[in-house]
Amino acid sequence: DTAVSQTPKYLVTQMGNDKSIKCEQNLGHDTMYWYKQDSKKFLKIMFSYNNKELIINETVPNRFSPKSPDKAHLNLHINSLELGDSAVYFCASSQGSGVQETQYFGPGTRLLVL
Amino acid sequence: RKEVEQDPGPFNVPEGATVAFNCTYSNSASQSFFWYRQDCRKEPKLLMSVYSSGNEDGRFTAQLNRASQYISLLIRDSKLSDSATYLCVVVGANDYKLSFGAGTTVTVRA
């Protein structure tokens, strides 16, 4: 009964392809996030949704498009993949979007672009 | 200057030792602070929040120094299972966005 799940766990693909990563949380949380962790281990927020509405949109190329069909799901679609997109992508969720909220992370999706 | 900076370590300590490390942040208006723990090839997990008055959770003690803009984590009586990367997290003043440090790696040896 994983709280935050992501699929796939590993993704190896060629430059120029389009791919999607799915995220689901069964915690009943209102807020979900996508983070990118690069080779230098920095975790950087990409997007945040609260009740299916976008509330944080960092400086991310518009090849990245999040989609939230309902508040339990936040998927990430990436067009025209580039070598620099290789990273670990973590989905997370929290009860709300306040300053003291604990974020629960999914297991990560390891993306390798060749 | 990075928003959140940490000494990457690694801190190699024997079991039973005390290890402590800091994290500095650049935005003086930051509101909330946390320590997350990330094991190798795993997701980050909340270790503890950091309160203004300092707080303890078992062998772990967190402190906040707003004047000097840093938070600290101290681990007493280190266990092998404490080996991990500890991520400092600072919540922005206006946007509630979490900013992560790159982490401090701690290795506890038998």
Q: Band the pLDDT of B2: cuts 50, 70, 90.
A: confident
Q: Which two tokens stand for residue A71?
A: 């508040």
Of residues A100 and A78, more confidence is placed in A78
How confident is the model over A12-40, as a mean pLDDT?
94
Digit-coded pLDDT (tens) for B23-43: 999 988 888 899 999 999 899
Q: What is the pLDDT of residue B95?
A: 67
Identity of the amino acid at A15: M
Q: Which of B34, B52, B97 to mutate to test the interface with A (most CBs of A within 10 A)?
A: B97
Higher pLDDT, A93 or B3: A93
Chain A residues close to B44, C-beta within 8 Å: 43, 90, 105
Condensed to tens digits (0 to 9), the pLDDT of residues A49-99 reads: 888 888 888 888 999 999 999 999 999 999 999 999 999 999 999 998 777
Q: What is the pLDDT of residue A1?
A: 59
Ranges assigned E (strand) in chain A? 4-7, 10-13, 19-25, 31-37, 43-50, 53-57, 64-70, 73-78, 87-94, 104-105, 109-113
Residues B65-109 have pLDDT tens digits of 999 999 999 999 999 999 999 999 998 776 667 889 999 999 999
Mean pLDDT, rounded, for B7-17: 94
- Asked if A95 contacts A104 with a C-beta cutoff of 8 angstroms, the reply is no
Spell B63-76 as b/e; 16+ CB within 10 A means b. Answer: bbeeeeebbbbbbe
Is the pLDDT at A100 greater than 90? The verdict is: no
* B44·A56 Cβ contact <8 A: no
Please give the backbone phi and psi of residue B80, each rounded to the nearest 5 degrees, phi first: -55, -35
Residue A21 bridge partners (DSSP): A76
Cβ pair A83, A15 in contact under 8 A: yes
Smallest CA–CA separation between B17 and chain A, in Å? 26
User: What token pair was written down for B45?
Assistant: 């997990």
Secondary structure letter of residue A98 according to DSSP: S
Question: What local confidence, expressed as pLDDT, does residue A39 receive?
Answer: 82
Kindly report, residue by residue over A19-29, the tens digit of the pLDDT.
999 999 999 99
Give the number of other Cβ atoms within 10 Å of residue B48's Cβ: 18
Percent of chain A with pLDDT over 70: 97
Residues of A in contact with B85 (CB under 8 A): 41
Q: Is the dihedral of CA B35, B89, A76, A70 positive or negative?
A: positive
Q: Give A54: exposed, middle or buried? Use CB within 10 Å, 0-12, 13-18, 19+.
A: exposed
Residues of A within 8 A of B46 (CB-CB) are: 102-104
Q: What is the pLDDT of residue B29?
A: 86
